[in-house]
Amino acid sequence: MQGWASCATAAVGFVVCLVAWQRGGGTVSLPWVPSLDLRLSFAFDGLAALYSLLATGVGVLVFAYGTRYLRQHLVEDDRPLAERRRFWPWMALFAAAMVGLATATDLVLVFVFFDLTAVCSYFLIGFDRERRAARTAALTALLVTIVPAVALLAGAVLLYSTYGTFSIPELVATVEPGTTTTVAGLLIAVAALAKSAQVPLHFWLPRAMEAPTPVSAYLHSAAMVAAGVLVLGRVHPLLARSEVVLTVLLVVGLTSVAVGGVLALGRDELKQVLAYSTISQYGYVVTLYGMVGAAAAGAAAFYVVVHAVAKSALFLSAGAVTTATGEDRLSRLGGLGRRMPVLAAATGVAAATLAALPLTGGFFSDELFFAAAKEHGPVLTVASVLAAALTFAYIGRYWIRLFLGPLATAPAALSPVLLVPVVVLALVAVAAGVVPSPITTLAEGAGAVSHAAPVTLSPAYHLDLRATNVMALAAWALGGLLLAAAGLRDRASRLVATAGDRLGPRRAYTASVIGLRRVSERLHDWETRDLRSSIAAVLVPAGALAAAAFAATPVARAFTVGPIAGADWLVLPLLVLVGVATLVAARTRERLGIVLALAAVGFGLAAVYALRAAPDVALVAVLVETMLTLVFLAALGRLPGTEPRREHGRRRGQRWRDPLIATVSGLGAFVVIWGYLSEPREAPSVAAEQIRLAPAAHGQDVVTVIVADFRGLDTLGEITVLLIAAIGVATLLGRGRLW
Amino acid sequence: MTGPDAPPGPTVIVRVVARLLLAPSVVVAVALIVKGYTAVGDGFAAGMVVGLAVALNAVALGARRAEAALPVLRHAPYAAVGGALLALASGFFPVALGEPVFSHRPGPDEKVVSVGKAELMTAVSFDVGIFLLVVGVVTVLVHQLAEPDQEPQA
């Protein structure tokens, strides 16, 4: 029920987006945090239209598929169907976050939606939470995408500090090339590349295959991974002002194409092949963003659409195969084509789309890719042909191993709900290959945003030997060779996989997570080892920080000794008494002595307050001190013996530890107070105002008037805390009964 | 306080003093509240004074016996919650009249009716709320924390 509701919501969203796109979009901008110049700015432009149509359109099909898939998944695992409640809300939020991200035109807003998709993906990838692999995969995905996302925020703040706005259109209009732009561009690019699973931050994506299939399909095609390239497309006019950023995009994109493609060639698990394929395919898009120009910007948008359609179809088909056969490895599957002809044909169309065969949208996306690469010199031309050949080979291997050859595992009958979405997506892919104009229009709009200038695309079939056709033929030929040379291909792929496991970034990630946890545990153990450590953990940083603050801000006459007059002659002996009592408390061995000495310290200070014209503080200090002493005495009555036990086995260095800690923190506090008293400010204006107004509020005691009137709301909050504390104690000790 | 050889429990002096202190402490608390708005002291201090007396009784007699001797302590939870509600009402009633919270009545330029030193105004009732809450919470805490070992010397 929830599934179909999500599906219907996505369908409504799709229609709304479609209408908005046809109407030409529009912008909304509401104040959000005016003091920080933050606005809720949304624009439904070409880029927003493309990605929101993808998120909602693919969402409809994936959600429909998911209604059936999830039920079966839960039944197979003997889990209650009620667990669907942990699935569909996140799925729906995922779609909403993607639409929000697509339409947001404020960098901070982009950041918020960017992280929202990561949070959704965390709960969805970890949906099978009783499996350890799913939990670690979810955590990896969250960390690898959210930590770099902070770089996006840093880049946004950097731009704000220079240009005074978070609004992307305004930044596009004002930003000049320079170091700031380069650094900010790199920071934003890092966040986007991690999200799009580009080398070297790609390793979270194959692990995320632990998610249920609808999640994988959605995550890979229209959400999450697409969010990275969406941000690249959104801020591309800024990135294009720095050669460095563009070069980084090119290098990272091509490396990802190669690494993802080679690894996909050798994988055995269905979803792993597709995961590495996604890394490779988004490498294409990143490469296109690395090339500047109208052709590249339009081609990138076109590529995203076609890939989303094909990849979601492939994932849904993989899930259907696994559901029908119970197997998820190519080595145990084969020959399914005769038993499942419709699925084989639909999957074939999706595979052909990735392989860029004619009559599919893939042909045009590669045509545009080749055309853009050709403009950027021979290196990119060759690289693009090799990339396409790699794609042809791995997706060809995938389809052939799955559907041709002898039957390995007999499939059970397949529910039409699992089949229809794959067929629909395949039909869309074919339609794009026959009538590309809707996607072309969509991509031109999106490209115009990324390029900050109008973009024209004209994908079409040409029956001649123009460069793009020759490049496509070369790619197919090379890919076919690679497909035929199975031994060489597998060995190369295994070699790369082993090298990646040995030296790859995943190892560094694991090591850093384990290292951080170890440091944290060490610190925690040290801090909570005994009471002294806990106190030292507070006092030492406080003292050191205060001292550092004073050292950093030298003020003339900061530390002076004032005159002694009047009541000071009474204060001085009191302070001496406090000092002596403190020493006694530190030296004495008997518990009762310590308590009484501490009480003397407290009462002495209360007397000082009284003499310094703060009778209210003195009154409360006396009362609190009395209560504390009483509590101490009550507690002491229940302790065995009269002296604390000597601590055994203290190491030699520790003898000096406590005095050292005491000295550091004490000096810190002393310096702060001395510095403050040397230069007593005028009473701050708020206090003066309150003193002046107290009689008007019918009170002579300013403190009481402040507590009960001027700052009454604060007081109310504080006494509420008291009541809550009492309820907490009652819950812990009295099973929730106050009496 | 109690050595290994001494009999368990506080001395008779402590017990007697605890008993005797109760009435004066309540008087002091009332005085603190009554003159609170014009002189030193407020609801919190008054609540602490009574709370101290209750705590001293619990230490001297044991919590259960102190509660048996002063049955009125049973109502501590009501005092705590009632105090909170009174304070809440005193602070928020202006909202119903369309004014900001803590717009006390009588207002700045209006005349205040005084009974002796006590002014009759909502700021003072807010203070009384604080007093009730502090007394109630301290008594509840004493009751709860004394629970684990029931009357060691009973």
pLDDT digits (tens, 9 = 90+) for A544-554: 888 787 777 76
d(CA B142, CA B66): 11
| pLDDT grade for A138, boundaries at 50, 70 and 90 | very high
Range A112-116 contact pairs with CB under 8 angstroms and sequence separation of 24 or more: A114/A149, A114/A152, A114/A191, A114/A195, A114/A227, A114/A231, A115/A146, A115/A149
Shortest CA distance from B4: residue in chain A: A641
Provide the CA A398 distance to its chain's centre, in angstroms.
32
Q: Please check the confidence at residue A650 and state whether its pLDDT lies above 60.
A: no
Residues of A in contact with B36 (CB under 8 A): 701, 704
B44 touches chain A (CB under 8 A): yes
Confidence of residue A190 (pLDDT cuts 50, 70, 90): very high
pLDDT score at A183: 93
pLDDT value at residue A313: 92
* Spatial distance between the Cα atoms of A52 and A109, rounded to a whole number of angstroms: 16
Pairwise CB contact (< 8 Å): A726 & B137: yes
Q: Tokens 């002493």 label which residue?
A: A629
Q: Which residue did the predictor score with more confidence, A186 or B103?
A: A186
Percent of chain A beyond pLDDT 70? 96
Dihedral of alpha carbons A495, A351, A369, A45, sign: negative
* Token representation of residue A136: 């670690």
d(CA A380, CA A374): 7
Q: Does B64 touch chain A (CB under 8 A)?
A: no
Q: What 3-state class would DSSP assign to A39?
A: strand
Scanning the structure block, which residue is given the tokens 């939990």?
Answer: A135
The confidence score (pLDDT) of residue A680 equals: 61
Break chain A into its structural domains and give their ranges.
Answer: 1-241, 247-484, 681-739
For chains A and B, CB pairs below 8 A equal 147
> Do A146 and A182 touch, CB atoms closer than 8 A?
no
Q: Which parts of A38-110 are beta strand (E)?
A: 38-43
- Closest chain B residue by Cα to residue A734: B144
pLDDT digits (tens, 9 = 90+) for A610-647: 888 788 888 888 988 988 888 887 777 777 766 666 65
pLDDT digits (tens, 9 = 90+) for A291-328: 888 888 999 999 999 999 999 999 899 989 988 888 88
Contact between A708 and B77 using a beta-carbon 8 Å cutoff: no
Q: How much of chain A, in percent, has pLDDT values that exceed 90?
A: 28
A191-200, A565-574, A670-679, B66-75: lowest mean pLDDT where? A670-679
A653 pLDDT band, cuts 50/70/90, is low
d(C-alpha A515, C-alpha A519), whole Å: 6
Question: A501: which 2 tokens?
Answer: 């496991």
pLDDT at B2: 41
Using a pLDDT cut of 70, give the percent of chain B over it: 88
A681: pLDDT strictly greater than 70: no
Report whether A163 contacts A175 (CB < 8 A): yes
Q: To 5 degrees, how large is the angle CA A24–CA A433–CA A364?
A: 80
Is B84 near chain A, with CB under 8 Å?
A: yes
Residue A167: strand pairing partners: A106
| A738/B80 touch (CB, cutoff 8 Å), yes or no | yes
Mean pLDDT of the region B58-76? 85
The pLDDT tens digits of the residues spanning A328-379 come to 888 888 888 888 889 999 999 999 999 888 888 889 988 889 888 888 888 8
Helix (H, G, I), strand (E, B) or coil at A29: strand
Partner-chain contact B55 A707, CB within 8 Å:
no
Tell me: pLDDT of A4 over 70. Answer: yes
- ipTM strictly over 0.90? no
Which pair of structure tokens corresponds to residue A723?
């009541």
Cβ within 8 Å, pair B102-A726: no
Closest residue in B to A595 (Cα) is: B1
Q: What is the largest CA-CA distance in chain B?
A: 68
Contact A610, A562 (CB under 8 A): no
For residue A395, which phi and psi values (nearest 5 degrees)?
A: -75, -30
| pLDDT at site A554 | 63
Which of the given ranges, A184-188, A510-514, A673-677, B4-8, has the highest pLDDT on average? A184-188
**Which amino acid, residue A270?**
L
Q: What pLDDT, on a 0 to 100 scale, did the predictor assign at position B144?
A: 85
Over range A249-257, report the average pLDDT.
92
Question: Contacts of residue A705 in chain B, CB cutoff 8 Å?
Answer: 37, 123
Q: Are A2 and A85 in contact (CB under 8 A)?
A: yes
Measure the N-to-C terminal CA separation of chain A; round to a whole number of Å.
47
Picking from A627, A698, A713, the nearest residue to B91 by CB comes out as A713
Does the CB of B100 have a partner CB in chain A at under 8 Å? no
Say what the pLDDT of residue A557 is: 60
Q: Residue A733's closest chain B neighbor by CA? A: B144
B59 near A CB under 8 A: yes
pLDDT, one tens digit per residue, over A364-373 is 988 889 888 8
The secondary structure of A631-693 as a DSSP string is: HHHHHHTTSSSSSPPPPTT--GGGGGHHHHHHHHHHHHHHHHHHHHHHSPPPPPHHHHHHHHH
pLDDT of residue B131: 92
Extract the tokens encoding A49. Answer: 């239209």
What is the band of A682 on the pLDDT scale with cuts at 50, 70, 90?
A: low
Burial of A535 (0-12, 13-18, 19+ CB in 10 A): middle
CA dist., res. A280 & res. A110, Å (int): 25
Place of tokens 């709960």: A123
Q: Which residues contact A386 (CB under 8 A, 6 or more apart)?
A: A258, A475, A478
Q: Is the pLDDT of residue B153 over 50?
A: no
Q: pLDDT by residue (tens digit) across A556-602?
A: 666 777 788 888 888 899 999 999 999 998 888 888 888 899 999 99
CB contact under 8 A, B52 and A623: yes
Mark out chain A residues that contact chain B at CB-CB < 8 A. Answer: 592, 615-616, 619-620, 623-624, 626-627, 630-631, 633-634, 636-637, 641-642, 696-701, 703-705, 707-709, 712-713, 715-716, 719-720, 722-723, 725-726, 729-730, 733-734, 738-739
Beta partners for A104? A42
- Helix and strand element counts for chain A (H, E): 30, 2
**Cis link prior to A573 (omega < 30° from 0)?**
no
User: Residue A698: exposed, middle, or buried by beta-carbon count in 10 A (0-12, 13-18, 19+)?
Assistant: buried
Handedness of CA A154, A160, A162, A167 (dihedral sign): positive
| Closest partner CB to B48 (pick from A624, A703, A704) | A624
Provide mean pLDDT across the span B13-32.
84
Give the three-state DSSP class for A207. helix
Give which of A427, A271, A420, A413 is closest to A340, Cα–Cα. Answer: A413
* Rg (chain A; Cα; Å): 34
Cα gap A404→A319, rounded to integer Å: 18
* Cα distance between residue A545 and residue B101, in whole Å: 39
Beta bridge partners of A39: A31
Residue corresponding to tokens 């000071």: A568
Q: Considering only CA atoms, which of A435, A436, A457, A257 is closest in space to residue A371?
A: A457
**Per-residue pLDDT tens digits for A431-486:** 988 888 888 888 998 998 888 888 888 888 888 878 888 888 898 999 888 888 87
pLDDT at A556: 60
Whether residue B100 is preceded by a cis peptide bond, meaning omega within 30 degrees of 0, is no
B126/A contact by beta carbon, under 8 A? yes
Question: Parallel, antiparallel, or unpaired: how do β-strands A38-43 and B114-115 relate?
Answer: unpaired
